[in-house]
Amino acid sequence: MSAELHRAIDNHDVDALARLLAAGEDPNELIPVPGHPGLKFKKADWE
């Protein structure tokens, strides 16, 4: 998940979210856990 998509989700920016999803961004893409090399999770599992 890109930082831009993460910001759009956190800021409830529906326009940016729609644009990013239409461009192929995947909100369920695994993202790294800070401070834990090799450990990744889905954003939905973290919230």
Q: Where do the domains of the chain lie? A: 3-46
pTM of the model: 0.55
Which secondary structure element, helix H or strand E, spans residue 20, and what is its range?
helix 14-22
Arithmetic mean of pLDDT, 39-43: 64
- CB-hemisphere CA count at 13 Å for 42? 6
More confidently predicted of 30 and 22: 22
Arithmetic mean of pLDDT, 4-19: 86
Residue 43's pLDDT band (cuts 50, 70, 90): low
Arithmetic mean of pLDDT, 5-16: 86
> Whole-angstrom Cα distance, residue 20 to residue 42?
17
For residues 43, 4, 20, 46, the Cα torsion angle rounded to the nearest 10 degrees is: 10
Which tokens in the block code for residue 6?
């993460």
Arithmetic mean of pLDDT, 11-38: 80
